[in-house]
Homo-oligomer: A and B are copies of this chain.
Amino acid sequence: MIKIYSSLDEIKSFFEILKKRGGEDNHEALKSVEAILANVKEKGDEALLKYTKDFDGVELQNLKVTEEEVEEAMNLVAPELISVINKAISNIRKYHEKQVRNSWMMTEENGIVMGQKVMALEKVGVYVPGGSAAYPSSVLMNVIPAKIAGVSKICMVTPPQKNGKVNPDILAAAKLAGVDEIYKIGGAQAVAALSFGTETVPKVDKIVGPGNIYVALAKKLCYGTVDIDMIAGPSEILVISDEKSDPSFLAADLMSQAEHDRLASSVLITTSAELAAKVKEQLAIQVEKLERKDIIVDSLQRYGGILLVSSIDEAIELSNEIAPEHLELMVEKPFDILGKIKHAGSIFLGSYCPEPLGDYMAGPNHVLPTTGTARFYSPLSVDDYVKKSSFLYYPKAALAEVKDDVITFTKHEGLTAHGNSVKVRFDNE
């Protein structure tokens, strides 16, 4: 179910397949999304209720989740889940608190003061997908950095189930993480509501969180009206291994990614042909006991691969070309090569650091750049929930020192009113 590639030509052709992953034409979906955005902008709640009836199959009276519904959910959730959510919250907080940045200023002896003021965003919208699986971990990862940044109002949107309720695990995670308001809205209409505001839903400054293609397109179209987190594609893992790793660990890690999605990509790069063969065996053995076997097999066949290379340096070079979302360094001395990794969302070091550890419990964020965008995007962080203002103060004497330089510059750019604003301050001297 997974191919082994041993020549560079084969590897390069495989990379071409990976690059096209998830890049299908969305022309029709885009037209639907444009119509939904326009309709919500014009009709507000009325449009939201209609789309919820049409798409989610439920007629709601109220879009907003009540305190009672949240309390009810807290009672329905397994106590063991509440307990691990609380442990995860504590670890995620500890890590993200290190990301907090202070405002700063610098002064000069002639009285100049300048600096940068760091402030939390006021209102943030968090999209949480509905559907068959509920991911409370995703609620934590999107909400906790916003809380640490100091966002005043966090509004969660999530599609209702057929019974008109929200999955209780999701509500419990929202409550424990500190979400302020929850709305039963999904799809492009939820993104529209948060971007433009309606009678019930507040307009926010930024929208984060994963969603289907309609949600992703709506976020892209609303970008600029609000900020968004990033443009996300299908997920991937890349594992670099020397000959010493345990093949059963490697197989398990590849499949943990593959079970997400038929478009997910799981790639192992190794220096050992013997190991490659053993991993293949392990995949066949382990997959039998896994619930999402069909998805795993399909994903590994389409976008999985074991690449044989002659050195760990060559493996790193290929990894930097892929710029993977998740990168596991399963080599004897993983810290030795950390400095060579140029592009990766999250890096997992050593044999006892499987990616799912980072998905849930360890602390770093699991919202990561996908499909090669780790070249320029970063893991979701406290930085995503703040914005900065620069500030500048000059006393008169300090402006006098530079006034001629500013005027010279404005003259060469043909902006005389710019020069005039400096000049006028010394006209009566």
Mark A residues whose CB is within 8 Å of B: 78, 80-81, 84-85, 87-88, 94-95, 98-99, 101, 104, 106, 112-117, 119, 121-122, 132-137, 169, 205-206, 220, 223-224, 226-227, 230-231, 246, 248-249, 252-253, 255-256, 258-260, 286, 289-292, 296, 334-335, 338, 341-365, 369, 373-379, 381, 383, 387-396, 398-399, 402, 405-406, 408-410, 412-425, 427
Contact = CB atoms under 8 A, between A and B. Distances in A.
A104 B363 CA distance: 14
Given A356-B406, A417-B259, A349 B391 contact: yes
A392 B361 CA distance: 11
B387 A377 contact: yes
A177 to B, nearest CB: 14
B121 A375 contact: yes
B356 A393 contact: no
B394 A357 contact: yes
B394 A122 contact: no
A255 B424 CA distance: 12
What is the count of identical protomers in the complex?
A: 2
A350 B417 contact: no
A26 to B, nearest CB: 12
B350 A393 contact: yes
A369 B119 CA distance: 15
B393 A353 contact: yes
A16 to B, nearest CB: 15
A352 B399 contact: yes
Nearest to A355: B421
A82 to B, nearest CB: 10
Contact of A389 (B117, B344, B417): B344
A344 B117 CA distance: 10
Contacts of A362: 112, 114, 392, 394, 402
Contacts of A112: 362
